Amino acid sequence: MPGSLEDKIQRSGNVAEMLRNSPAGAYTYPMKPEFSNWRDEQRAWATTAVLFDQSFHMTDVYFRGPDALRLLSDLGVNSFKTFGKNKAKQFVACNYDGYVVGDAILFGLDNEEFSLVGRPIAPNWVAFHAETGEYDVKVIHDERSVANQGRRLTFRYQLQGPNALKIVERAAGKPIDRIKFFNIGEFSIAGCTVRALNHTMSGIPGEEMTGLEMMGLSEHGAEVLAALLAAGKEFGLREGGNRAYPTTAIESGWIPSPLPAIYTGEQMKPFREWLGGDSWEANASIGGSFVSGNIEDYYLTPWDLGYGHVVKFDHDFIGRAALERLAGQPHKRKVWLRWNDDDVARIVASSLFGGEQRAKYMDMPSANYATGPYDKVLIGDRLVGFSANVGYTVNIGGWASLAMVDEADAVDGTEVTLVWGEENGGSAKPSVERHVQTTLRATLSTRPLV
């Protein structure tokens, strides 16, 4: 029997070692790898448009009832003063010590109906409190397809690129009302009702609707998809696969896999006991050159991840007191690292032709091989932060990663050193071949690279 996450931790003896040697690789995106080729699919979101089918890889949990908004406010660091129907936000939840449990997109579907959509941890954290706390809330779990044997409740399509609005209006057969950024609108495609969130998965959000996440009843998914693809032909639309998909985050600046701060602390123990030993949280993995036997060294604050601006002390929530203490202290800052082309070429060549002294292989276009990548970032011999998400995009024209570095060192143009590969030849993860650690140079930027 798998028992609970807490049982698994107790059996392991050291949770950091358990996660470092977990067999889980990078997060799973159950979609076709490529529809054309990942280079053209990347180029499309910058020049024409790309459509990603997001219907399968994210956990959706619905919260319905008179206490749903209070539940979310009790857990989210965000302000909820003006939140409600047809609004959305990047929901961020912390543990009692102010470290991030997880984040997800929160949709206001109605005045007493909300959904959290994303990787499982944030939806699970809120569902746990809904089911164990004193809330008049109904919880409906729509698990991602790898954990769900039935049909999903909704379809979800992300249309991204400068031609996105033209394609939607052609598919709808008429102009649609403009939707404010991170608001939700409604229109009809192929006779089916579609709700759309205006947000972008790549680049910087602007006034135009260059990114729309469209959702509706799953039984209408095929019709809506066919209409969008037909409408997109004259506008250069491409379908995007799971090779290109994770690299959108490198351009937009979203760090997708911070380790959830749930594995320690007596106050978090009931949640660990609620989570099964077969849960995503119990089977996540840590990868990269940063190694510590103390799992709390991997915990992150909202400021570290670029979420400091969403922390609002206008309500009571779990972790508020700790965040108030942390607010005035130094933090890490989210930055972009542009990897040195010559160093990357050397590592790629070594990984393929280096024999027993080969470097860790860099898969293209995304080189993440664990649920949570943590590579050391140095200035000289000084550890200044972690590189957290790496890949290549044709729009950047090279390799890059997102990183979190000490605020004092987050200076544009600074050259840093990144340690690539794992200690002692690698961990027990099957995604890690035996290899030798090496270093590469990278240039720091506090702004997006495209």
Average pLDDT of adjacent 10-residue blocks, the chain of 450 residues? 91 96 92 97 97 93 98 98 97 98 98 96 98 98 79 93 97 96 97 96 67 96 98 98 97 94 98 97 97 98 97 98 96 98 98 96 96 97 97 98 98 98 96 97 97
Pairing of strands 100-110, 88-94: antiparallel
**In 241-340, alpha helices (H):** 248-252, 269-274, 320-326
Q: Which of 245, 265, 264 is nearest to 256 (CA)?
A: 245
Q: What is the pTM of this model?
A: 0.96
Q: Supply φ then ψ for residue 139, to 5 degrees.
A: -110, 130
Cβ atoms of 390 and 246 closer than 8 Å: no
- Structural domains of the chain sorted by starting position, each given as residue range(s) with its CATH number in brackets: 38-57+152-241 (3.30.1360.120)
Work out the end-to-end distance of the chain between its first and last CA atoms, rounded to an integer number of angstroms. 49
Backbone phi, psi, residue 132, to 5°: -115, -15
